[in-house]
Amino acid sequence: MRATPRGVAYGVPDYALCALRALEDAGFEAWVVGGWVRDALLGAPCHDVDITTSAHWREVKRVLGEKSIPVHETGTAHGTVTAVVDGKPIEITTYRVEGSYTDRRHPDEVTFVDDVSLDLARRDFTINAMAYHPERGLLDPFDGLADLGSGLIRAVGTPELRFNEDALRVLRAVRFACRLGFEVEASTQEALVRCADGLEDIALERIGQEVDGIVRTGRMGWALMAETKVLVRAVPEVGPMVGFDQRSPYHAFDVLEHTSRVCRAVEEFTGGAASPELRWAAFLHDVAKPVTFTQDETGRGHFFGHPKVGARMSEMVMRRLALPHDLVAPVRTLVRLHDHVVRPTPRSMRRTLLKFEGACPGRAASLAFALLDLKRADAVSKMPMCADYAVEIDGVERALRRELASGCVYRMRDLAVSGSDVIEATGIKPGPGVGLILKGLLSAVVNGELPNDRRTLIESMRIQ
């Protein structure tokens, strides 16, 4: 996907044109900037529209208010307000330049200016430093269009200065490279590595947002190999994986390269549509190998317990990065079960579903399929002789689909009896004990020890 001068779909959305026209009719200059321009040039779907203008934010509020356009003061210290036209938000910011960044994240001061080129000069990368106007066309003082055409991420101005201003830009560069399938320009890449230490000054939740963004592009496999030093600074647990010789007849690669290949393989097996949970699990599935490594008397390496330890480490990493629980829990479980033995039998499928249901209620089926894709990816990323296991997983997947289609029992609600049946059959009082009995019955049905038959289950309770 490369840009051309006619790549802008000459269709700035009407709601954004409404705000832009209002400002220009009032005597101010205004341009569309940022991601909308970049994505339009690439012919990619365009979402939020940002506008930059010569008008001070107070003038923006006054002018748009006279047009009955609601305006919210969302970042006035930096000259930003948010207008809402037809229910669509538009960030509108006064042309500005920025002072020094003492905290390596926020400018110490902001100065409003009247030249859009000065405003573009403060931006991070050339592909984000372009402005567009329906009549005046494309304003591109830093050759962002050429870099789009060449597939390059290049810093505006002096790369090291850009990254020292805001260390988070180090990860933003990697995220944009991943998202767009670009390479990082050589001098920008050198500065990325030199400035990666600055991430120590960045809030962990902000780092988490960027790392999550990288993972979700589906190109973490590329990032692990091409941007290793940056990712080690963002996620220190990656460091011990680098060059770690597994000393195993089943592994042709060190832990980092194996992980990179698993990340790539899950994209292949899912047609590039792997879920965020699967992508994160591919990234972290072997994170505990360096800390669980042992060697036997022959020198062969072993990693006893690494799925269990890896599950704990995965949760620790993701919680440190302030990622949401509904992402952390399934990733932790996928990592925990990535070496779990699965067979193409109804019992094995029910047991697997039960494990996922217990850890992530309501998500067992989708996570079970994700586990099979993770296992396939893991198999083809080892020695060639291990790749046959990926084919065996096809049979397991067919068994899983059959079991789900048959209405198999793996959830409490699937049981033919309820809590009230337990109380009536056993005389137990309502409380935790009822749940324990139901849990025992569910386990018996899942393991094929009892049929899911109401009369049989009630009789079983009475006998006990």
Angstrom distance (rounded) from CA 150 to CA 192? 20
**pLDDT one-digit tens code per residue, 182-197:** 999 999 999 999 999 9
Q: Are strands 88-94 and 49-53 parallel, antiparallel or unpaired?
A: parallel
Asked if residue 287 and residue 389 are part of one domain, the reply reads: yes
- Residue 85 sits at φ, ψ, to 5 deg, of -120, 125
Residue 9 lies in a domain: no
Asked if residue 371 and residue 251 are part of one domain, the reply reads: yes
Residue 351 lies in a domain: yes
Nearest partner of 292 among 250, 265, 255, 323, judged by Cα = 255
> Which range has the worst mean pLDDT, 143-157, 266-280, 298-312, 423-437?
423-437
Please tell me the total count of domains within the chain: 3
**pLDDT one-digit tens code per residue, 395-417:** 999 999 999 999 999 999 999 99
Asked if residue 60 and residue 44 are part of one domain, the reply reads: yes
Asked if residue 456 and residue 364 are part of one domain, the reply reads: no
Distance of CA 237 to the CA centre of its chain: 17
For residue 89, list its beta bridge partners: 84
Q: Which of 363, 386, 405 is the last residue of a domain?
A: 405
Confidence class of residue 391 from pLDDT cuts 50, 70 and 90? very high
Residue 280 lies in a domain: yes
Confidence class of residue 126 from pLDDT cuts 50, 70 and 90? very high
Residue 213 lies in a domain: no
Dihedral sign, CA of 42, 44, 45, 47? negative
CATH number where 371 lies: 1.10.3210
Asked if residue 397 and residue 261 are part of one domain, the reply reads: yes
Which SS3 state, helix, strand or coil, does residue 233 take?
A: helix
Asked if residue 326 and residue 432 are part of one domain, the reply reads: no
Residue 202 lies in a domain: no
Confidence class of residue 104 from pLDDT cuts 50, 70 and 90? low
- Residue 262 sits at φ, ψ, to 5 deg, of -65, -40
CATH number where 34 lies: 3.30.460.10
Residue 288 lies in a domain: yes
Dihedral sign, CA of 212, 216, 217, 220? positive
Asked if residue 313 and residue 248 are part of one domain, the reply reads: yes
Q: What is the pLDDT of residue 3?
A: 43
Strand positions, DSSP E, 21-70 = 30-33, 49-53
Asked if residue 49 and residue 118 are part of one domain, the reply reads: yes
pLDDT tops 50 at residue 442: yes
Mean pLDDT, the chain, integer? 93
Asked if residue 399 and residue 252 are part of one domain, the reply reads: yes
pLDDT tops 80 at residue 355: yes
Which residue segment(s) compose the domain that 419 sits in? 412-463
Q: Which of 355, 382, 405 is the last residue of a domain?
A: 405
Asked if residue 306 and residue 399 are part of one domain, the reply reads: yes
> Cβ contacts of residue 285 below 8 Å, gap of 6+?
259, 262, 307, 310, 334, 335, 338, 374, 378
